[in-house]
Chains A and B, each alone.
Chain A
Amino acid sequence: MSSPIVKLVAQRIALGILLLLAVSVLIFAGTQILPGDVAQAILGQSATPESLANLREQLGLNDPALIRYFRWLGGVVTGDLGSAMSSGQDIATSIKGRLWNTLFLAFWAAVVAVPLAIILGLIAVRYRNGWVDKLISGLALASTSFPEFFIGYVLVYFFAVKYQIFPGISTVYDGMPFGERMQAIMLPAAALTLVVLAHMMRMTRAAILNVMQSAYVETAELKGLSAFAVIRRHAFPNAIAPIINVVMLNLAYLIVGVVVVEVIFVYPGMGQYLVDHVTKRDVPVVQAVGLIFAAVYISLNIIADIAAIVANPRLRHPK
């Protein structure tokens, strides 16, 4: 690989790390601003001034915020996310399984949604302004316009209650056979697909349409290429950067934004874990999950940036 690419990629990664640090500061500061502290939360109603003071001493809450931040950050970097207040369990251990579940669900939703969105986008461009285009755009728009919980319950009503093809509650457990696991996630995956499809499809369509105005597309048409070949060979490769960008944004959403869908289907993922602990005011868990979500979001966007850089022939093949 040539040097400009290496330099740009290194820059992006460095920026990403910097951004992640900034986010960690924000998350930490945010939880500090909340009224009451961990000691208060743990002791709840039974708190006496003495017991509070003791617990604060014990938890190191009397140290300055800066020291507590670096203590927390040091733990995060070494993989120690602390332990949950409500249950006393190690956060890292509980998150591991749930993060894996969330990624599993997001992965299968993406495997369906991304190619489908791009293919639909290509078809919409091919028949632009015709009824096929309008139908695709209309359906896609409708599916995004409905709230996730609505789509989720409609799917449950038809496929779990009325026809009983898939389970309405997506319980998964360790050691569950792959086939059963797939059946369990079918409905939440479908709901997620419907939610992210339209955005990706419409951006794909717009990105390619933008390129379709170029002189080189006319050149391709004047070579006698068929409409699909023109789009696939000449327009699509030049629209890749914006498409990757929107795909990555949606992948991030699949992981970070699944909260509602996970709660509807009672799926044991990160989102449900987060919601549970927000209600319990379990600050260490909220901090940890927030940081992981931020990391996922930032790394996916870095990947998008890098992919866009690599997709640019001017950077890949400098003069």
Chain B
Amino acid sequence: MADQRAKSMLLDIRNLRIEATVFPPGEAPKNIVLVHDVSLTLEKGKVLGLIGESGAGKSTIGLASMGYGRGGVRITGGEVILNGRDILKGGKEGFRKLRGREVCYVAQSAAAAFNPAHRLMDQVVEATLLHGTATRAAAEKRAIALFKKLSLPNPESIGERFPHQVSGGQLQRVMTAMALCSEPDLIVFDEPTTALDVTTQIDVLAAIKDAIRDTHVAALYITHDLAVVAQVSDEIMVLRHGRLVEWGGTRQIIKEPRQEYTNALVSVHEIEHQEQKPGTTPFLSVKNITAAYGRSHIKVLKNVSVDIYPGQTLAVVGESGSGKSTLARAITGLLPPEEGTVTFDGRPLANRLADRPKEDLRQLQMIYQMADVAMNPRQTVGTIIGRPLEFYFGLRGRQRDARVAELLDKIEMGKGFIDRYPAELSGGQKQRVCIARSLAAKPKLIICDEVTSALDPLVANGILKLLLELQKEENVAYLFITHDLATVKSIADSIAVMYRGEVVRYGAKSQVLAPPFDAYTDLLLSSVPEMEIGWLEKAIKGRRMASAGN
């Protein structure tokens, strides 16, 4: 029995320890441990999901199975036994022989992982040819068969294209084909669908799942999204701060988590927000706005109208390229609309940002997706939050500092952070500072552009809760731009669904999320992964039936 098990064992990681040297500014370099004595085993043809927040060490472990460390990352202890031998003892030559042959890698952003200078086919068959496992003709034939299996359009000719000529979802599939082409024993999928739109993700996920099943390849599937990993893996391992939290069958992890942390991950989206009835008059009305970039004839916004009520949240949801952020730019005056008006408190706002008086600027504030780049890295938190206080209210000295401290309390950080620099803050703290900065202006409306998208689920949850609390305290309205429907459900009062520059569905949350749906909203809603085994198959089947009905 034990012998049987040893035979079917593909990967056996024992007490893996991974360290890195970091160079904090102004301090001596120091050693940090990224992965603390993690052990795992994977049988042939099985899928193990590695899940955790950023910094959990999941990608680091995945790459360690190929003997690879990013930057200054080093494997300093333990064994990585692949096909019965410890790969860490093979040296550089040993790593080169197994990479691209026994183990292949699928990266998060295929768009960045493909070399822009070469045709797709040359990149897909490169590893196969390098390791001499097939002739060029045979490898290309295999690649085309894989393109077919992954339901890529024009499988015969897509290999002739360059990466920029293919969409993101297609590239992700081509990358999967590239990994499968050299017929490896193990594929490391590193967040393969995270960068995709939710409606694209479902197809790619289904394609990956089918390919794994048909080729009997084993996989380490790395993601932060439990609902996604529940669709593809046999087992799930939960990691936190480089340590194992819990490891078990997929059903057990999502239905009966034993650890508190796993439970928190499973129940992450359960924020309750009672929808508020819209008031009688909106304070900000967007009427029939049409906008385009530059002299382009392509309208990014077509005839968009929405209303925002005091102290309420309008969520704008849609895929990338649907015009959500452009709507925000039109409202703030960064992109003057070609037609239509924005009315604020009953009077029209100037189209151009430069033509707006200071008071109008103060009333509309913004928070961005990337908190790191939205702050000056050479200013302290106190300066960053204090700037709008000086600019709008002329506060100086002690008065200003008192108000900064008050704002820091509001974002649950405290005045201890006043002299810190952004680099010393975590992702969630940075976003909180950005929130405090926008609140400092005492605006009527804060536009939140994907403010939680770059954050880990638990941290994002904290931010959403904070935003809801602040809304109650300050009676500020939010225009909440997101692609994430779960977030929308948690915090919106009304919802606008955007598709290709148009608002296809708009109304109170309860109306928008209740059937009957229009085709696009239906597609969008049915694409959001649910934490339920077998959801993917059901969703795909539902779609096929819908398209057969058309």
Q: Which residues of A come within 8 Å of B, CB atoms?
A: 214-216, 218-226, 233-234, 237-238, 313-314, 317, 319
Contacts and interface: CB of A to CB of B under 8 A. Distances in A.
Contacts of A218: 70, 107, 113
B35 interface: no
Instruction: Give the top 7 A-B pairs by smallest Cβ distance, nearest first.
Output: A223-B100, A224-B99, A215-B112, A237-B117, A224-B100, A223-B127, A216-B115
B154 to A, nearest CB: 14
B113 A216 contact: yes
A225 B68 CA distance: 13
Given A215-B113, A238-B115, A222 B164 contact: no
Contact of A225 (B66, B98, B130): B130
A87 to B, nearest CB: 54
A222 B66 contact: yes
Contacts of B97: 224
Given A215-B109, A215-B113, 6 more contacts: A216-B113, A216-B114, A216-B115, A221-B68, A224-B96, A225-B96
Contacts of B115: 216, 219-220, 234, 237-238
Interface in B146-164: 161-162, 164
B104 interface: yes
Contacts of A219: 105, 107, 113-115, 123
A215 B190 CA distance: 13
A319 B66 CA distance: 35
12 contacts: A215-B107, A215-B109, A218-B107, A220-B126, A222-B63, A222-B68, A224-B95, A224-B98, A238-B115, A313-B116, A313-B117, A317-B161
A222 B66 CA distance: 8
Contacts of A223: 99-100, 104, 126-127, 130
A222 to B, nearest CB: 4
A225 B126 CA distance: 9
B130 A313 contact: no
Interface centre among A214, A216, A314, A317 (most CB of B within 10 A): A216
Contacts of A313: 116-117, 162, 164
A319 B165 CA distance: 5
A237 B123 CA distance: 14
Interface residues of B, number: 31
Contacts of B107: 215, 218-219
Contacts of B105: 219, 222
Interface centre among B112, B115, B162 (most CB of A within 10 A): B115
B352 interface: no
A65 B465 CA distance: 76
A237 B163 CA distance: 15
Contacts, number: 74
Interface in B46-95: 63, 66, 68, 70, 95
Nearest to B164: A314
B118 interface: yes
Given A218-B70, A218-B113, A317 B165 contact: yes
A129 to B, nearest CB: 11
Contacts of A214: 112
B535 to A, nearest CB: 30
B17 interface: no
A223 B128 CA distance: 9
Contacts of A234: 115, 117-118
B112 A216 contact: yes
Nearest to B97: A224
A222 B114 CA distance: 12
A205 to B, nearest CB: 19
B112 to A, nearest CB: 4
A226 B95 CA distance: 10
A33 B205 CA distance: 73
Contacts of A215: 107, 109, 112-113
Given A216-B114, A313-B162, A319-B164, A224 B101 contact: yes
A218 B69 CA distance: 10
Contacts of A319: 164-165
B131 interface: yes
Given A313-B162, A317-B162, A224 B113 contact: no
Contacts of B164: 313-314, 317, 319
A224 B100 CA distance: 6
Contacts of B70: 218
Contacts of B66: 222
Given A216-B116, A313-B117, A226 B96 contact: yes
Interface in B210-234: none
A317 B113 CA distance: 19
A121 B63 CA distance: 29
Contacts of B130: 223-225
Nearest to B161: A317
A221 to B, nearest CB: 7
A203 B394 CA distance: 48
Contacts of B95: 224
A12 to B, nearest CB: 21
A295 to B, nearest CB: 32
Contacts of B112: 214-216
A222 B175 CA distance: 13
A48 B367 CA distance: 79
A234 B116 CA distance: 9
Contacts of A221: 68, 99
A301 B63 CA distance: 43
Contacts of B118: 233-234, 237
Contacts of B117: 234, 237-238, 313
Contacts of B131: 224
Contacts of A225: 96, 100, 126, 130
Given A218-B70, A222-B99, A223-B130, A314 B116 contact: yes
Interface string B395-422: 0000000000000000000000000000
A315 to B, nearest CB: 10
A220 to B, nearest CB: 7
Contacts of A238: 115-117
Interface centre among B70, B98, B112 (most CB of A within 10 A): B112
Nearest to A313: B162
Interface in B416-438: none
B99 to A, nearest CB: 4
